[in-house]
C-alpha cells in the first residue's frame, strides 16, 4: 500500500476522532450545568448522568481508530522498544492478526446485532427517569469497529513495509503532545551538533 493510500485512511480516522472530540465540550458543559442547578438551585436534572455516559462512550469508541493512526495506544514496551524495528514490526503484525482483527470484527458483527435490535425496539435508557434514547449511540459500536478494521489494514501495511525496508512509512502529520515535540526538537539538535562536529 502506497503512502497516499495510508494517508487517506489516516485522514478518515483523524476526521472521525476530531469530529467526536467535540463530545468533550458537550460533556463539560452538561456536567457544569448539572453541578450548577444541583448545588446552587437545588434542582438536579434527570438527564445529566445518561448524557455523560453516552458522550464519554461515543468519544471513547470513535477515537480508537484515530489513536491507532497516531500510534498512541498504551503498550507494555519495556522490552519491545529495545528490539530492532523489523522485530517490532513482526511482533505487531502477529498481534494484529491474532488479536486486533478478531476483536474489531466482533465489534462490527455483534455491534450490528445490538444496534439493529436497539433501533427495532427504539431502546431507551433504564438508568434514569429521563428515558433517553440510546439506539443512536449503539450504532456507533459497529461503526467504530469498521473504522478500527480500516485503520488496522493501514497499520498491517506499515508493519509489512517495515519488515521489508527496516523503516516504517511516515504517518499523517498532526498535533503532538508537548513532551513529544520537545523530545523531537532535542533529537534534531543532537543530529545537527553531530553533523557540525563532523564538518569541523
How high is the pLDDT of residue 114? Answer: 93
pLDDT by residue, tens only, the chain of 200 residues:
788 899 999 999 999 999 999 999 999 998 999 999 999 999 888 888 888 888 899 999 999 999 999 988 887 778 888 889 999 999 999 999 999 999 999 999 999 999 999 999 988 887 777 788 888 889 999 999 999 999 999 999 999 999 999 899 988 776 565 666 666 676 667 665 676 666 65
How high is the pLDDT of residue 180? Answer: 63
How high is the pLDDT of residue 28? Answer: 92
Pseudo-torsion of CA 187, 154, 174, 106, nearest 10°? -120
To 5 degrees, how large is the angle CA 46–CA 64–CA 85?
A: 155
Please give the model's pTM, rounded to 2 decimal places: 0.82
From residue 53, how far is each of 58, 99, 158, 164 by CA, in Å? Answer: 9, 27, 35, 44
From residue 82, how far is each of 77, 87, 89, 180 by CA, in Å? Answer: 8, 10, 13, 19
- Please say whether the beta carbons of 123 and 40 come within 8 A: no
- Please say whether the beta carbons of 51 and 29 come within 8 A: no
How high is the pLDDT of residue 108? Answer: 97
* Full 3-state SS string of 69-121: HCCCCCCCCCCHHHCCHHHHHHHHHHHHHHHHHHHHHHHHHHHHHHHHHHHHH
Amino acid at each position: 500500500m502506497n503512502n497516499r493510500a495510508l494517508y487517506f485512511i489516516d485522514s478518515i480516522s483523524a476526521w472521525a476522532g476530531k469530529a467526536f472530540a467535540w463530545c468533550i465540550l458537550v460533556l463539560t458543559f452538561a456536567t457544569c450545568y448539572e453541578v450548577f442547578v444541583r448545588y446552587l438551585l437545588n434542582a438536579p436534572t434527570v438527564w445529566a448522568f445518561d448524557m455523560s455516559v453516552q458522550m464519554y462512550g461515543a468519544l471513547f469508541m470513535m477515537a480508537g481508530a484515530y489513536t491507532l493512526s497516531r500510534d498512541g495506544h498504551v503498550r507494555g514496551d519495556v522490552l519491545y522498544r529495545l528490539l530492532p524495528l523489523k522485530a517490532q514490526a513482526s511482533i505487531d503484525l502477529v498481534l494484529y492478526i491474532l488479536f486486533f482483527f478478531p476483536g474489531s470484527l466482533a465489534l462490527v458483527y455483534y455491534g450490528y446485532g445490538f444496534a439493529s435490535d436497539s433501533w427495532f425496539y427504539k431502546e431507551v435508557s433504564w438508568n434514569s427517569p429521563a428515558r433517553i434514547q440510546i439506539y443512536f449511540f449503539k450504532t456507533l459500536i459497529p461503526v467504530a469497529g469498521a473504522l478500527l478494521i480500516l485503520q488496522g489494514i493501514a497499520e498491517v501495511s506499515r508493519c509489512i513495509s517495515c519488515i521489508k525496508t527496516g523503516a516504517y512509512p511516515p504517518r499523517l502529520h498532526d498535533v503532538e503532545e508537548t513532551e513529544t515535540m520537545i523530545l523531537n526538537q532535542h533529537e534534531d539538535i543532537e543530529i545537527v551538533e553531530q553533523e557540525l562536529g563532523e564538518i569541523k
